[in-house]
Structure 1
Amino acid sequence: MFFTKRINVEKKVQPLNDTDIQSTDRMQNKLSYLQLNNKDLEIIKKLDYLFDKYCEDITERHYEMVGRFANLQNIIDQHSTRERLSNTFIKYLQSIPRSEINEEYISGRVKIGDIHSKIRLTPEFYTGSYIRVYEYLIPSIISEFGNSPEQLSELLLSLIKFITLDSQIVLESYQEGNDYKVVSNISSVMELITKINKMKDLLAVVDSTIAEAEAVAAAAEELSSSVEEVANNAINVSENAEETILQANNGQKVIEESLKGFLSMTEDFSETKEKINNLLKEIQNVTTVVSFIRDVSEQTNLLALNASIEAARAGEHGKGFAVVANEVRKLSEQTNTSVQKITSTIEKIQAEANEVDQNSDRMSTQLGVRVNKTRDAIDVLDQIITRIEDVGGATSNIAAIAEEQSAATQDITSRINEVLQHVDEIRTATKETGSTIYDASYKVNELRKEVLKSIPRLSGENLLRVMKTEYETWKWWIYNTMIEFHDLSEGDIARRQESRLSTWFTTIKNDPLIQSQSVFTTAEKLHNDIFTLANDALGAMKRGHFSEISQILEQLDTKTEAIKECLDELSLGVAERKTGKRHQHS
């Protein structure tokens, strides 16, 4: 018969004391809160034979129960086998009464939590599995130690303390794994949003498009005006061309009539020249007669002289004849004098007639040339009239085409104005989209911060993952400040020492597992560079130098990518050493 002896509960409850088990600060707190001491560990060791005795039965019953739940069986089928898991579970049960609260124990329980988190086994099924342990061990413990209520009480209480600690470590690791997933997912969302950093470029392109469209619109309006002017001028030219053709035709008739008169005058001049030639011939004949008279006069003078000589010889008988001879001589001299005058006059007339003849020849030649040129001019005038008629026709076509082009350019201007309106609408929509993206990023980041607040602690891989997103977020706020969606003076970025990044960096700096890695030095320098660049961006924003912020962003982008690589490398180093060491300072 059990429990025949009563226990004084008030006396058996121990006073609250710190644990005497040496461990990390965080583990010390857990142990003290559970009031788990080295004495408890010694008491549990007394149960080793019971764990060994029932571990296989507990395991068999446990996986028989698991097999009744399709979702649990699916997890086993996807990630392992019942045989492998049974062997692992048996070893775990056997380790409970033989455990010491050291690095190996902690890392082993952390590993269990990590595995359960990765295979998505929910906590209720994990904690529920301890019922299989209690189903066998509690009855067997009562059966073995029922005659000693105080010892039985100590055994059960120590076992419950230990299994509670065991569950806490496993579930904490499980929660950390889930927290990491949540943080990683929400950080990934935030990082995806921060990659939408082309809004500034898009706005610049839209503004450039608007400027170019406005320039095209102005040019189109100017072209429309020019084309309209060309059309009007072409119409005027076409109308003037018709009048010009009429005047040219009239001019051609006048010129042809003038040419006919000119040709008639040329013919008359030819007749005049012929008469001049006849006159020259007549003058030549007169000259011949005068020459003959001169010859006769000279002979007469000579005869008169001879007659005078003979009269002188005859004496008195020759006096009358001498008078006649003397008169004949005088007549001959007068005739000779007249002949000389006539000859001189005829020579002058002949010279002038020759000059007239020469001038007539030149005039005849020039008249011939002028006639030929006039005929050529008439041919050219015919061609000009033909060309004018062609130009008139072409001008009419140009006028018609120009009118069509004028209508087309007006249509182009109208359409370009519509394009301008659409582009302006695109710009408005782009800004609204950018603002919406910013609002979404702000809300996601607020959600991210709330999730981070709900996580009991951030360390190791979780903290490194969060920091990656935080650096990206800083760059994102600077970028949105540049496009006037964000105020850089607000938030952590303006308070270096109070910022989450500073706090988190101090945390990883104090973690030997992270700080001991060689890449940490590089990460620390990049961290300081990023803060400097952020402060530079803040100063540029206050001065309104947004082009300077753009240059800072380029540098910040390079630094951010570099520190993210460093954080990935640090995270990998933590993952490689997490067995036992991951939670040294957790």
Structure 2
Amino acid sequence: MSLFSLIKFFKESQNDWMEQVGQLQVKVDVADSTIHDKMRMVQLTEQDLQVIKSIQPLVISHVNELVRGFYDTILQVQVLREKIEQHSSVDRLERTLEKHLIDLFEGNINEQFVENRVKVAKVHYKIGVETSWYMSAFQNLQQAMFLVICREFDQGSNKIDEIKQVTTAVNKLFSLEQQIVLEAYENETVAKMKEQFEVGKTEIRTKIMEISEGLVALAEETQASVEILSSHFNEVSGNSLASNEQSIIAEKKANDGQGQLNDMLHKIHSIEEYTNNMQKAINHLGQATSEITHVITIVKDIAEQTNLLALNSAIEAARAGEHGRGFAVVSQEVKKLAEQTKNSISQIDKLIANSDHYKQEVAQSLSQVIQAVKMGLEASGQTDVVFGQMVESIQQSSHTVMKVKNQMDELTRVVKEIEKASMNVALSAEQLNEAVATA
């Protein structure tokens, strides 16, 4: 008996209907143990599959109505309509679902049956039908199927048990269908998430490796720059120390020079004092010479008067004759003495004249010496000021150099800390790179 005849037979009489259903060939041939577990969970038996196969002609005759009800629900969502039009078409999906429903009521649970369920799930997942929308649409499909069953069979009191048996079998089949499809949905979601995770993981790994490699390169460049900078700082610090030592030596020499200059100033002051004393002595000598000249003038006058007196005595002795001979001798001696005195006075005049000439030259020289000493004192005073400024400048320079050296030492310490931190960054980046490479 054909399936269509069986449906007709069911409508007319149910006495032998179950016997005819029991003769239908159905098969459960699937290797996946989870499918068997799902069938046991919903209590889907071979007899249920026979009942399901018996109403396949009913599904075939109403498949357009059933499929349209399913997609009418989905197409009410504008987003789904746009996605369907983007990835496929409504006609194509309806044809696919028609074949899917007819195969669903074939009564065979095999590998192809499972594969077709998974394929439907993948198609709906691809176009963006979420599980909640799918379940809602499938609920409408299930409800439409029950309405068809109730409409096609008379609902007399003697058919209630058979209709209940048919709807129960269909409900079990739809439950198995939903389990397989939803599990496939979940697998697709997990696979997509895993794929996205792997893509994200790969991108993150790539970014981290790029960043870590950049960090390593940057750390190496920083370390190299820090080493060069540290070398320069050490050199500058050494030069600062050497410059400070030279400043100390220069300061010592400047202080020594200033001390020697002060000694020279003291000696110049002594020379000035001695020169002034000598000038005073020369002035006194001039005064004494003037007094001597005055005395010589007096003596010269006395000598001339004595000479005149001797001449007069000689005249008088000549007049006295023999009696005045002795007196003439005395007069002669007095005259000689007066002449000698006069000659001596002339020599003394010459000596005094020469002495006065020398005194004037010495006085002139002393004036020049005094002038030179004054100029030397002024120059020495200016030099002393310059030396003082030089010492102060050297001290300030030495202080600045030491301050620079201390700052350079501190900077060198900071640079070494940067170098250490750069090495730690490079090490961390390499460890991160290795960790990412093995992740």
TM-score, L = length of structure 1: 0.39
TM-score, structure 2 normalization:
0.50
